[in-house]
Amino acid sequence: MSRKLVLLRHGQSQWNLDNRFTGWVDVDLTDKGRTEAFAAGELMREEGLQFDVAYTSVLLRAIRTLNIALDAMEQQWIPVLKSWRLNERHYGALQGLNKAETTAKHGEEQVTIWRRSYDIPPPPMDESDPGHPRKERRYAEVDYNALPDTESLKTTLDRVMPYWVDRIAPDLKAGKTVLVTAHGNSLRALYKYLNKVPDEEIVKLNIPTGIPLLFELNDDLGVISYRYLGDPEQARLAAEAVANQARKS
């Protein structure tokens, strides 16, 4: 018996459009992002996917994407669980900065290291910054010391994995069909774990917005197969566009 898991990156956000490092900043979808979310739901409906449970982060762009996709599938009734552990990677002091301008200032090699390397985080956010998660009500119940001021992909995976082990994996092992709607880096972390991608190879992976990635897993949650739904060429071009975001204007 195979288990089905779909990873869905949120639709285009306003800061995706503005080419800014977003991280944990709570930015909404653009009109295009809403369209992408609905199209993702249509693709999942056409695939015949019947979800038993959905997971998302506590950030608006992921929650909005999930709700729109569920509307498109007419599966609004399924249980939805939200966790900060599925949040985007925290980009530290880079949050809010324009990616191309940051590249012009620090060089493409350094920005690529901050964006895509496995274990090198950007400079940390100052704890006095009003945008620090320790100052936000939504994280009031989270252990103070667990809230990041910057993250690498490695530390993002470290915080995602307990939620995978405690909540998502048990649902899959119970035979449930699961939808996870989250962010480029929290999903990259799960992709790395599921596909056993080497640390040095994960730098090349880019996940496009709004295109469902369907995994079929065995009883032990090993990967049988995975593919983007819809047109493979569209997914390839969308991933390429993500890779090019930090290049100089």
Known catalytic residues?
10, 88
- On whether 95 is known to bind a ligand per the annotation, the reply is no
- On whether 99 is known to bind a ligand per the annotation, the reply is yes
- On whether 184 is known to bind a ligand per the annotation, the reply is yes
- On whether 118 is known to bind a ligand per the annotation, the reply is no
- On whether 188 is known to bind a ligand per the annotation, the reply is no
Q: How far apart are the C-alpha atoms of 200 and 105, rounded to whole Å?
A: 25
- On whether 145 is known to bind a ligand per the annotation, the reply is no
- Give the angle subtended at the CA of 13 by the CAs of 100 and 6, to the nearest 5°: 115
Q: Which two tokens stand for residue 171?
A: 């649902």
- On whether 22 is known to bind a ligand per the annotation, the reply is yes
Q: Which two tokens stand for residue 14?
A: 């306003």
Containing 226, the helix (H) or strand (E) segment is: strand 223-228
Nearest-10 crossing angle of helices 60-73, 31-46: 40
- On whether 12 is known to bind a ligand per the annotation, the reply is yes
- On whether 91 is known to bind a ligand per the annotation, the reply is yes
- On whether 9 is known to bind a ligand per the annotation, the reply is yes
Q: Among 116, 157, 156, which Cα is nearest to 21's?
A: 116
- On whether 45 is known to bind a ligand per the annotation, the reply is no
Amino acid at 125: M
Query: 182: which strand partners?
Result: 9
- On whether 16 is known to bind a ligand per the annotation, the reply is yes
C-alpha 197 chain-centroid distance: 17
- On whether 11 is known to bind a ligand per the annotation, the reply is yes
Q: What does residue 105 show for φ and ψ, rounded to 5 degrees?
A: -80, -45
Q: Is 183 helix (H, G, I), strand (E, B) or coil?
A: coil
Q: How far apart are the C-alpha atoms of 168 and 136, rounded to whole Å?
A: 26
Q: How far apart are the C-alpha atoms of 191 and 239, rounded to whole Å?
A: 14
Please state the residue numbers annotated as binding site for substrate. Answer: 9-16, 22-23, 61, 88-91, 99, 115-116, 184-185
Q: Which residues are annotated as a binding site?
A: 9-16, 22-23, 61, 88-91, 99, 115-116, 184-185
